[in-house]
């Protein structure tokens, strides 16, 4: 990872999982990191782990449009333009099949996964345009690239839409020096998996991608010179249950 000294990165969903791993990795690379999540204690703990230096804990519900707009104005005044935005905030619900999916659950997933990412991009793009460069990375999902019955209609719709939105930003903003990348992680051992109807076993979790693996993919995208953009990046566990039909692996003899 190249040095990010002098750069400012904003990470949403930074209280746990992929967002937290990205925040730590970019901080270790020298960036000033703004970490946002709904859980104030969790991001305060993360900031304390970093010695409260070059890290700003900014509690935020990305589904709250007015709150995101206010956060954008606050950051512009405090740190100036954001150089790197990583939209990692995301949720799913337990009752995700259409027979049980409620309109309220649908709205919650779309509001956080899709609308929240848009609100944050909308907040940082003016500053990126003004300075003539910036990098936006949206953490989509394997389910945003390939249809999956496992993740349900709301989550799949939100992540497919996030991918399309990311490509729109890349097309419209490339002339302004702004890069946009959608990353599609396969199964990753993060807290969101506890909301599955049947949570994975500890053995299965150990075989999945880990949050730091996805953070390494984010680092790769950022490390390229600004003349180069990774538009899409698919990363999956080698033991990929999407390929195996979600069957347990054969026992070794």
The rounded Cα 215 to chain-centroid distance in angstroms is 9
Looking at the DSSP bridge assignments, the partners of residue 51 are: none
Please say whether the beta carbons of 76 and 125 come within 8 A. no
Please say whether the beta carbons of 76 and 12 come within 8 A. no
The rounded Cα 14 to chain-centroid distance in angstroms is 9
155, 159, 163, 189: which one is catalytic?
Answer: 155
Please say whether the beta carbons of 60 and 50 come within 8 A. no
> Is 155 a residue of the active site?
yes
Please say whether the beta carbons of 222 and 232 come within 8 A. no
- For residues 134, 8, 37, 171, the Cα torsion angle rounded to the nearest 10 degrees is 0
H/E element, 211 = helix 211-223
Q: Which residues contact 235 (CB under 8 A, 6 or more apart)?
A: 183, 184, 185, 186, 209, 213, 214, 217
Active site residues: 155
């Amino acid at each position: 990872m190249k040095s990010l000294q002098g750069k400012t990165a904003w990470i949403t969903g930074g209280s746990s999982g992929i967002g937290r791993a990205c925040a730590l990795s970019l901080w270790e690379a020298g960036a000033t990191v703004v970490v946002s999540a709904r859980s104030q204690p969790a991001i305060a703990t993360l900031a304390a782990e970093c010695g409260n230096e070059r890290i700003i804990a900014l509690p935020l519900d990305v589904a709250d449009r007015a709150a995101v707009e206010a956060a954008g104005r606050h950051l512009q005044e405090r740190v100036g333009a954001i150089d790197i935005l990583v939209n990692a905030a995301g949720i799913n619900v337990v009752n995700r099949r259409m027979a049980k999916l409620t309109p309220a659950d649908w709205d919650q997933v779309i509001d956080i996964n899709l609308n929240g990412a848009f609100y944050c991009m909308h907040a940082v793009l003016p500053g990126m345009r003004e300075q003539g460069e910036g990098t936006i990375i949206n953490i989509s999902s394997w389910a945003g690239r390939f249809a999956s019955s496992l993740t349900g209609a709301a989550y799949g719709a939100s992540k497919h839409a996030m991918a399309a939105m990311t490509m729109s930003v890349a097309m419209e903003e490339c002339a302004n020096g702004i890069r946009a990348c959608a990353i599609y992680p396969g199964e990753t051992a993060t807290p969101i998996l506890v909301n599955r109807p049947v949570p994975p076993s500890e053995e299965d979790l150990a075989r999945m991608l880990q949050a730091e693996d996805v953070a390494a993919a984010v680092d790769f995208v950022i490390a390229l010179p600004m003349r180069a953009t990774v538009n899409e990046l698919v990363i999956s566990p080698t033991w990929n249950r999407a390929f195996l039909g979600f069957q347990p692996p054969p026992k070794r003899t």
